[in-house]
């Protein structure tokens, strides 16, 4: 059975393994990664697609500003288990993500990807011509979809990350907890 649900922290390992399988280590060099690194994904928009209890697909959306003062989302990465591609799962996941984004009140979604795939969901280069990303990318792959008609009219400028920062573990607190034996699997220091 196929289920689409919000990701939890239990999914992180399987999600990262899937992304490694689909994109390899080069994924961290992508320009879009500059808009994601160190940030939290948008609330409610980290989705997992599960088949019989196993994570077989992932998509996340991130807060950005499309030029000054124009909140939008950046979608990616999206990936489906290579053994299950071309069965419609990617399409299901995209439609679910875009539907949830609209319900949450988001007004536009940007992404960098293959237009021949994403145009079936309504993405095009039409509204990205005066926007640019913080690094190299192929302009014909920089696409946008308006969830509210006309929202990106006149959008111009750099796309920048606006998501909340990820909380970083406090190293001193971790060391103190380890010394006191409060971390699972660790004995107190002698
Ligand atoms: C791209 C991806 C998410 C699509 O998911 P999927 O479940 O395979 O796609 P669906 O089954 O919904 O759709 C399949 C259709 O999309 C087409 N398609 C898939 N990837 C495509 C691409 N990159 N460019 C053009 N068409 C593509 C297939 O040819 C197929 O066409 P058809 O409907 O005419 O037969 C998935 O193939 C994947 O994970 N690929 C590797 C990672 C990746 O490239 N992610 C996207 C980064 S831009």
> For 32-58, how does the pLDDT look when each residue is reduced to its tens digit (9 = 90+)?
999 999 999 999 999 999 999 999 999
Atom of ligand 1 nearest to the CA of 111: 48
Q: According to CATH, what is the number of the domain 2-179?
A: 3.40.630.30
**pTM of this prediction?**
0.91
Q: What are phi and psi of 177, to 5 degrees?
A: -65, -40
Average pLDDT over residues 133-162: 98
> For 56-112, how does the pLDDT look when each residue is reduced to its tens digit (9 = 90+)?
999 999 999 999 999 999 999 999 999 999 999 999 999 999 999 999 999 999 999
114 touches ligand 1 (CB under 6 Å): yes
CA of 120 relative to ligand 1 center, distance in Å: 11
Which residue ranges make up each domain of the chain?
A: 2-179
Q: CB–CB of 21/58 below 8 Å?
A: no
DSSP 13: H
């Amino acid at each position: 059975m196929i289920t689409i649900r919000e990701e939890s922290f239990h999914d992180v390992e399987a999600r990262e393994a899937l992304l490694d399988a689909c994109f390899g280590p080069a994924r961290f060099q992508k320009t879009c990664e500059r808009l994601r690194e160190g940030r939290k994904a948008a609330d409610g928009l980290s989705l997992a697609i599960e088949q019989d209890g196993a994570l077989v697909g992932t998509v996340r959306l991130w807060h950005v500003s499309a030029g000054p003062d124009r909140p939008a989302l950046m979608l990616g990465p999206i990936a489906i288990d290579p053994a299950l591609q071309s069965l419609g799962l990617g399409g299901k996941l995209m439609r679910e993500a875009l539907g949830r984004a609209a319900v949450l009140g988001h007004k536009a979604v940007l992404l960098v990807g293959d237009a021949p795939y994403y145009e079936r969901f309504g993405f095009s280069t039409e509204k990205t011509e005066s926007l640019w990303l913080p690094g190299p990318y192929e302009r014909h792959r920089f696409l946008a979809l308006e969830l509210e008609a006309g929202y990106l009219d006149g959008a111009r400028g750099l796309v920048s990350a606006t998501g909340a920062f990820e909380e970083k573990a406090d190293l001193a607190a971790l060391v103190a907890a380890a010394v006191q034996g409060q971390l699972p699997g660790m004995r107190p220091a002698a």
